[in-house]
Amino acid sequence: MSTVAEKELSIPVSTGDAVKDNFLTHTRGFLTWALTLDHKRIGLMYLVGVMSSFTIAGIIALIFRTHLMWPDGNLLTVQQYNQMFTLHGAIMVFLFIIPSIPAAMGNFLLPIMLGAKDVAFPRLNLMSFYLWVTGAIFFVVGLLLTGLDTGWTFYTPYSLDSKGPVVWATLAVFVLGFSSIFTGLNFIVTINTMRPPGMTWFRMPLFLWATYATSIIQVLATPVLGITVLLLTLERLLGIGIFDPKLNGDPVTFQHFFWFYSHPAVYIMILPAMGIISELFAVHCHKGIFGYRLIAYSSVAIALFGFLVWGHHMFTSGMSDVAAIIFSALTFTVSIPSAIKVFNWLATMYRGTISLNTPMLYALNFMFLFTIGGLTGLFLGPLSLDRHMHDTYFVVAHFHYVMMGGTLVALVGGLFHWWPKMVGRMYNEPLGILSAILVFIGFNMSFLPQFVLGTRGMPRRYATYKPEFQDLHIVSTIGAYILGLGLLVALISLLYAIVRGLRAPANPWGGATLEWHCSSPPPFYNFERPPTVHDPYDFRGIEYDEKIQGYVKRK
Amino acid sequence: MLEMIQSVLPLADVNETFWFPTQASTFAKEIDSFYDILFWISMFFFVIIMVPMGYFMWKYRQRKGYQGSPEALHNNALEITWTVIPTFIVVWIFARGTIGYLDMTKMPEGDVLEIKVQAMKWAWSFEYPNSAVHETLHLPVGRPVKLIMRSDDVLHSLFIPAFRCKQDIVPGRYNRMWFEAIKTGEFDLFCTEYCGDKHSQMITRVFVHEPEEYEKWVAEAARPPESPVEHGEWLYQRRGCKSCHSIDGTKVIGPSFKGSWGKDVDLSVGRTIRFDENYVRRSILEPQAEFRNGYQGASAMPSYQGRFKEKELDAIIEFMKSLKD
């Protein structure tokens, strides 16, 4: 790659002085934010939105974890419990985790990493945000009307009989789906058409590869979710007889429709997280990423295979043996590219210069948790074992290790990593490190016992349970409190930056991708002219400068 | 701790090993040993990832006087190794899982006991070959048992942890499963597909008997009490009524059986109706037709059309009469 002679970057490296005119200060007033077309502001607004949703759903989780400390559940009625796990799942999936990294981090970073002024369609981008807001309002209205108690999966025929506001929720999902499609479409066009001179496909930062793969899934899979919830709405309102067995419909058809989207959606959640982790490992090991091409290809492979494995959510639903066997075989194909990525990140550490700061500790957290999440998938893929484990706490623990230990931890790590760029100030490092340690302890304490609960036979979505499961539930709940505390400390560390953090230099970590070449926070137009780029993981010549407390590129 | 619970409560499923409950069916051994192998494979990979990670964290940490190398970005042999070896391992896992699955789903032939299962919100009903109907599952040890399962309302799933198998029950079709118990005793049976309010209480027991004992039990279970009131109570206990209707006046999901007979009750549509034979009959056969005021929001009761004989409806009515006050 480096054989091609490159011009040096045309952008002067900031000296770390306060940059007066940046995207935060460029214009002032509520409307300049509400009607902004600037991808960075939209990204920040998304961030506030998704993190608020996460906080609400997280508090709900803490409430029902408290309830689950007693076998009879002294805190809530069974109806309240059912509504709470439904809201926890629905808010986490539709309002938080799907838009989290692509819409919040992706919006902020993608154009800057491309050396572009904005995404290809800034107005579509703003519309996507307002669709998200609309969807969130629908959810809130549904929440206030009466409790939704179908589970986030809306399985028929329960969702047809349920007295809850199912139609509000399905319409919310329908609208949120469009938000997701618009974001994906925007990113695909932006990456295809707006790469700067010198940035070939294989010189893109891996975060962009991951975002690109994610966007493809968003555009191809989300319409099916739209169709599914629309059919469910029609079934509920008009009784069209497609899912309702009373009208000769088939409830299993709904499951196929639903997981045809919702399984690829799992990769909408995890792929961008993997992209963040690739960046964190390279930058904080101060070493090029190991096996760049294999990581890039594996993102695409995961996106493609991810479309073919939805049936593994339905192994016990009574589909034919042949279908079950095919889905089981395809399911294992996804494990290989995921394993490759883990090995590559590990090899990136080899002979690197590893800064054990907060973002890196979160990346290491991710490695630990995602490895457990991935390996426990091996227990659920084979058909025979699944007949015991399906719909038990083993599954709950498995997908929390992947979704929360994977995506959330990567998102928090990415927030610490890019926070200086976003707000122009440094977070509080000791608090950040403390939060990473608390999250590690709390997470494992909360979810490791759930694997054991699962193999012992504890079914999921149970408001009450047999007394022999109580010990492990108590450990799990205490772990959840520690996890909550850890995330609160992380929030304080980040907010500290805004209040009294030191001014951030342009390149606090020694990154080589383009976002580290513009000031912190970036100017309104990011770059005056498209910069010429070379290898995003070539760290030679990037050295620490004591004077500005950041890294500069030596010629 | 476990011993303490076991001594206080009559629990059969307190597990024997760290991971699993007792092995009570022919499937259990394969499931448990397969799990153990996967556990050690996972531990192996976990260790070969985590140990180097910890070592690298220490050895290559940023410090004064140490400068890492930006080389080592690529190694074909290594990358092929960690692609190919896991591939072979997952192929083996898939194959063993599939073979085990086919053993679990291929229906046995010959001397098979067939039991019909009806799952409903929120009770189980098992119908034995001699037409005995009961809310708990009884079976003989050492004989294959086939369950023909259906549901009239929503999805349910039948899970017996000690037998290591489960199968969803889908309204509008029959789903089947089979197993062979190898141990006598009492085991848990859970519903594992979310089915509404009392999903977590849709639990019953499995009793595995010696064959002669099973025959005795099933013959006894087919014989209802003579007196209509006792017959009514007998049905109330066995056919799912008790999961939503109390007989002591408390509100569970639906109205209590106690203290309504002969009174005028308010309907949701604003008129009143006399709580008499006709109202009870209609409420059992067409539960959604006339709602008592205050129960509009309650989860819909499944219809008992075709599931109760006329004589049984009479018995239920007599039982309600006996709970007049």
The reported pTM is 0.91
CA distances from A433 to A489, A544, B60 (A): 9, 21, 19
Q: Is residue A25 predicted with pLDDT exceeding 80?
A: yes
Strand B133-134 versus strand B123-127 pairing type: antiparallel
pLDDT interval class at A532 (50, 70, 90): confident
Chain A residues close to B175, C-beta within 8 Å:
318
Classify B300 as helix, strand or coil. Answer: coil
Mutate to test the interface with A, among B47, B75, B78, B168 (most CBs of A within 10 A): B168
Chain B residues close to A353, C-beta within 8 Å:
60, 62, 66-68
Reduce the secondary structure of A106-135 to three states and give it as a string: HHHHHHHHCCCCCCCCHHHHHHHHHHHHHH
Mutate to test the interface with A, among B18, B47, B49 (most CBs of A within 10 A): B49
Q: Is residue A5 predicted with pLDDT exceeding 70?
A: no
Which residue in the set A339, A356, A452 is minimally distant from B82, CB to CB?
A: A339
- Quickly tell me which residue has 């002679």 as its tokens: A5
Q: Residue A555's pLDDT is what? A: 63
B43 vs B11, residue with greater confidence: B43
Check CB contact of B234 with chain A, cutoff 8 Å: no
Question: Per mean pLDDT, which of A157-171, A210-224, B280-294 is the most reliable?
Answer: A210-224
Q: Is residue B325 predicted with pLDDT exceeding 90?
A: no
DSSP notation for B13-74: ---SSSS-----BTTHHHHHHHHHHHHHHHHHHHHHHHHHHHHHHHHTB--TT----S----
B5 vs A162, residue with greater confidence: A162
Q: Across residues B286-315, what is the average pLDDT?
A: 84
B65 vs A406, residue with greater confidence: A406
Chain A residues close to B83, C-beta within 8 Å:
294, 336, 340
| Alpha helices (H) in chain B, listed in sequence order | 2-8, 28-59, 76-105, 211-221, 228-238, 277-285, 310-322
Indicate the Cα dihedral angle B51, B53, B57, B60, nearest 10°: 100
pLDDT interval class at B14 (50, 70, 90): low
Backbone angles phi, psi at B209, to 5 degrees: -110, 165
Of B228, B226, B245, B227, the closest CA to residue B237 belongs to B245
Mean pLDDT score of chain A: 91
Look up the ipTM and state it. 0.90
- Tell me which chain B residue has its CA closest to the CA of residue A539: B70
| pLDDT tens per residue, range A356-387 | 999 999 999 999 999 999 999 999 999 999 99
In angstroms and rounded to an integer, the radius of gyration of the C-alpha atoms of chain B is 28
Check CB contact of B49 with chain A, cutoff 8 Å: yes
Chain B residues close to A318, C-beta within 8 Å:
167-168, 170, 173, 175
Q: Is residue B119 predicted with pLDDT exceeding 50?
A: yes
CA distances from A485 to A145, A334, A431, A441 (A): 31, 34, 12, 11
Strand ranges (E), A66-183: none
Can the peptide bond before residue B122 be classed as cis, meaning omega within 30 degrees of 0? Answer: yes
Backbone angles phi, psi at B133, to 5 degrees: -120, 135
Check CB contact of A145 with chain B, cutoff 8 Å: no
Q: Residue A307's pLDDT is what? A: 92
- Quick one: how far is CA A452 from the chain centroid? 26
Q: Residue B257's pLDDT is what? A: 87
pLDDT interval class at B238 (50, 70, 90): confident
pLDDT interval class at A19 (50, 70, 90): low
Can the peptide bond before residue A157 be classed as cis, meaning omega within 30 degrees of 0? Answer: yes
Residues 184-243 of A with CB under 8 A from B: none
Contact (CB<8Å) A317/B168: yes
Q: CA A230, CA A244: separation in Å to the nearest integer?
A: 14
The whole-angstrom distance between A462's CA and the closest CA on chain B is 5
Task: Give residues with Cβ within 8 angstroms of B209, minimum separation 6.
Answer: B138, B139, B140, B141, B184, B217
| pLDDT tens per residue, range A239-257 | 898 999 989 899 999 999 9
Q: Is residue B158 predicted with pLDDT exceeding 70?
A: yes
Q: CA A340, CA A337: separation in Å to the nearest integer?
A: 5
Contact (CB<8Å) A467/B199: no
Q: Residue B9's pLDDT is what? A: 46
Handedness of CA A52, A57, A61, A67 (dihedral sign): positive
**B161 touches A456 (CB < 8 A):** yes
Q: Across residues A49-66, what is the average pLDDT?
A: 95
Q: Is residue B35 predicted with pLDDT exceeding 90?
A: yes
pLDDT interval class at A259 (50, 70, 90): very high
| pLDDT tens per residue, range B240-257 | 888 888 888 888 888 888
B2 vs B264, residue with greater confidence: B264
Handedness of CA B168, B169, B172, B176 (dihedral sign): positive
| pLDDT tens per residue, range B185-206 | 999 999 999 999 899 999 999 9
Q: Residue A535's pLDDT is what? A: 86
| pLDDT tens per residue, range A300-334 | 999 999 999 999 999 999 889 999 999 999 999 99
> How many CA atoms lie less than 13 Å away from A293 in the CB half-sphere?
8
Chain B residues close to A151, C-beta within 8 Å:
194
Q: Across residues B226-251, what is the average pLDDT?
A: 87
Can the peptide bond before residue A205 be classed as cis, meaning omega within 30 degrees of 0? Answer: no
B247 vs B207, residue with greater confidence: B207
Classify A504 as helix, strand or coil. Answer: coil
Residues 258-317 of A with CB under 8 A from B: 285-292, 294, 316-317
Minimum mean pLDDT range among A320-329, B10-19, B42-51, B81-90: B10-19
Q: Is residue B172 predicted with pLDDT exceeding 60?
A: yes
Q: Across residues B310-320, what is the average pLDDT?
A: 89
Q: Is residue A6 predicted with pLDDT exceeding 90?
A: no
Question: Per mean pLDDT, which of A9-18, A513-522, B12-21 is the most reliable?
Answer: A513-522
Identity of the residue numbered A342: V
Q: Residue B13's pLDDT is what? A: 53
Handedness of CA B284, B217, B28, B109 (dihedral sign): negative
| pLDDT tens per residue, range B37-67 | 999 999 999 999 999 999 999 999 999 888 8
A405 vs B72, residue with greater confidence: A405
Check CB contact of A359 with chain B, cutoff 8 Å: no
Which residue in the set B2, B72, B166 is minimally distant from A350, CB to CB?
A: B72
Q: Residue B141's pLDDT is what? A: 95
Percent of chain B with pLDDT over 70: 95
| pLDDT tens per residue, range A176-197 | 999 999 999 999 999 999 998 8
Q: Across residues A407-433, what is the average pLDDT?
A: 95
Q: Residue A41's pLDDT is what? A: 94
Check CB contact of B44 with chain A, cutoff 8 Å: no
